[in-house]
Amino acid sequence: MRSLFVLVAAAIALVPPFALASESWQVATDTEAGHPVAATCPMDSDETGHFYCVLLGCAADGALGITVSIAGGGPSGDAFFGVFAVHGRTFAPLAFQRTARTDYLEFRAPHDPAVHGGLLAALQTGQLALLILDPAGEKLGQPILLGGAGPAIATALQGCAPRVRAELVGVTAPPATAPNPTAPTALPSPVAQAQAEILSECGPDTTFDPGFAGSGDLDADGVADILISYAAVQCAAAPTMYCGSGGCGWKVHRGLPGGGWDGGTYFTAYSVTPTADPPGLLLEVHGSSCNQTGAAGPCRQRLIWRDGALARAPGN
């Protein structure tokens, strides 16, 4: 794992006392200005030398900004907007400009509390973010886990000029150790990941209806499972992105006894109804799924849980 100095050094020189851990926000030190910055590398491959890193902190003049450093791909332009989405909420575009670096791509955008109010608080208290570079053109999306972001960003903000910290009062979250009754409830990991993937495909103006995700013990093992309905996605790029003549997309993530969820089972249906005896799902699907012609109309198909996976019930 290469050090943060190699990956995300901008106009300020960074010499952290550690090698940056992938997908975890950590604090490094700006040795030029003598203050901390927060950074994460959601993608860093020693094998290929490719990386994608995000740095948040104040430069030597005290101005707060967000820097993105990329090796292996990246935007082709020198100036473009970037949009953060956290838990389905999108924030005002950031104006990224390419820096003078030549050994890898590096872009920096200023953070204006009057324009981007709430973004830092969302990053500090959220679970998963999506950064879309050039949303009007190349639409390059990168999911970013927010583990450790709360304390790292809170520490980094202490290095900003007093006027900058004063502007941030009321629009940023307090350190993670302080009470924060207004913090959004963290979404379960499969739901947050699905939203990030959808926003990458559909664009930052996409919204999610209340029925997008539900939780319940679908397989009667005492552990909550997750059911995601793609019919609840209002895709900005294409209204019928996840729906067609065979219905809309659905995905079930089975909760695991030791914690977490499985990778999920995806299928299409017009409707889905959980059943109790035996535990499973009753689907209303296209007639072709029941060896009928489409003109015959929808038919019903029953799925049951077998050895921790969904399978078609006998006779279906």
290: left (phi over 0), alpha (psi -120 to 50) or beta: alpha
According to the model, what pLDDT value does residue 303 have?
Answer: 94
Q: What is the pLDDT of residues 239-276, one digit of tens each?
A: 889 998 888 999 999 999 988 899 999 999 999 999 98
Q: What is the mean pLDDT of residues 146-171?
A: 77
CATH 2.60.40.1880 placement within the chain: 4-168
Please state, as a whole number, how many other Cβ atoms lie within 10 Å of the Cβ of residue 315: 5
310: left (phi over 0), alpha (psi -120 to 50) or beta: beta
Q: Where are the alpha helices (DSSP H) in the chain?
A: 4-8, 113-116, 119-125, 149-157, 162-168, 189-202
285 and 314 Cβ atoms separated by less than 8 Å: no
- Between 2.60.40.1880, 3.40.640.10, 3.50.50.60, 3.40.630.30, what CATH number should domain 4-168 receive? 2.60.40.1880
Residue bearing the bigger pLDDT, 173 or 236? 236
Q: What is the mean pLDDT of residues 10-22?
A: 37
Buried b (16+ CB within 10 A) or exposed e, 276-294: eeebbbbbbbbeebeeeee
Q: What is the pLDDT of residues 291-307, one digit of tens each?
A: 776 556 788 899 999 99
The whole-angstrom separation of Cα 72 and Cα 109 is 20
pLDDT exceeds 80 at position 5: no
